[in-house]
Amino acid sequence: MRTAAFNKALEIINNRRVKAKAENDRHFSEVERSVPEIAEINRQLSRTSIEILKAISSGNNVQGQIKAMEIKNRQAQDMVTSLLLSAGYPADYLETKFTCPKCKDTGFYDGKRCSCLEELAGKIAVAELNETSPLKLCRFDTFDLSYFKGVQTNEDDDCYTTMSNNFEYCKRYASSFSLNSPNIFISGKTGLGKTHLSLAIAERLLEQGWDVLYDSTNNYLTRIESEYYGKSEGDTLDVLLNADLLILDDLGSEYEKTFYTATIYNIVNTRLNKSLPTIISTNLTPVEMEMRYDARIVSRLMTMYDYLKFTGKDVRAIKASRNSKESINMYR
């Protein structure tokens, strides 16, 4: 699972450990120069360790000797703390400050991978997948609702109100996101801003440090298929199943394959079982979804996701038309 990402994460964690120990050595050298009494106490503590080994070797009243030495150690450490405070240092100045106190920056705790290693490997895997995504992050402040003013369609006689509500919903979702946030299923024709608002959510959450994956459904499925059949290396499916938020753009653009349908069901169902939020967008109508996909997929999307219907006229076409008119006017 995510072998390359785990190796990179382990290397980072080991470097943290080296830096923490180097910083601790620097603190010791500094303190022993400025407070000579502490240097002497530290030498006594070092000799105590040797005395404990001798006591164990002798076999004479080992427990009693060790207990007496432990008391002396505690007294010496209390004295060091007092001297540190008197000299203006923090009480814990000579303690090694590991990034993860649990595993002490080894990456392993109680014989298993530490949570710090798991989390860091996940972030590395997510970042690597996002680097290859052709989708570029968008912002909420670049979403122009004016394109929907006065627009009516056969399905909606007030597209501006509908899209304003969708816009506000997405902003609230991004500002209050947690692992308990709902799933979102976005449906609507091309050019209505489905990808834009999905990526605006991603942009906001990535800034907050959440692990967010975003790409087209087709790209992810192609990658997963290649890895499954050994044509390339990677753990894309595993990363998708465990990201804090997964954004699958343009569901329905992929080829119709049994493998793809099964994989989509696996992703949707597994993330629901893990209570991990997912955002899925499609150009397909609910009726077209029912004709295309397994009923188990459609049922989950329509009942266990918040449904956002995007309405209006193709914004990209409107922009192109406006630009064309502006160009003609320039040469009149």
pLDDT tens track for 60-88: 656 766 676 677 778 888 888 899 999 99
**All CATH 3.40.50.300 domain ranges in the chain, comma separated:** 132-319
Tell me how far apart the alpha carbons of residues 219 and 250 are, in angstroms, rounded to a whole number. 10
| CB contact at 8 A, 242 and 149 | no
Using alpha carbons, select from 154, 144, 150 the residue that is nearest to residue 192.
144
Tell me how far apart the alpha carbons of residues 248 and 50 are, in angstroms, rounded to a whole number. 62
| Non-local CB neighbours of 161 within 8 Å, separated by 6+ positions | none
Amino acid in position 184: I
pLDDT higher at 167 or 325: 167
The radius of gyration computed from the CA coordinates of the chain, to the nearest angstrom, equals 30
Percent of the chain with pLDDT over 70: 89
**Burial of 315 from C-beta contacts in 10 A (0-12 / 13-18 / 19+):** buried
Tell me how far apart the alpha carbons of residues 45 and 77 are, in angstroms, rounded to a whole number. 9
**Burial of 332 from C-beta contacts in 10 A (0-12 / 13-18 / 19+):** exposed
The per-residue pLDDT for range 141-150, each reduced to its tens digit, is 999 999 999 9
Predicted pLDDT of residue 89? 92
Tell me how far apart the alpha carbons of residues 104 and 81 are, in angstroms, rounded to a whole number. 22
Whole-model pTM? Answer: 0.77
Longest CA span, the chain: 108
**CATH top-level class of 132-319:** alpha beta
| CB contact at 8 A, 154 and 223 | no
Average pLDDT, rounded, for the chain: 88
Tell me how far apart the alpha carbons of residues 194 and 25 are, in angstroms, rounded to a whole number. 54
pLDDT at 176 over 90: yes
What sign does the CA torsion over 93, 95, 96, 99 have?
negative
Predicted pLDDT of residue 316? 81
| CB contact at 8 A, 246 and 267 | yes
| CB contact at 8 A, 98 and 20 | yes
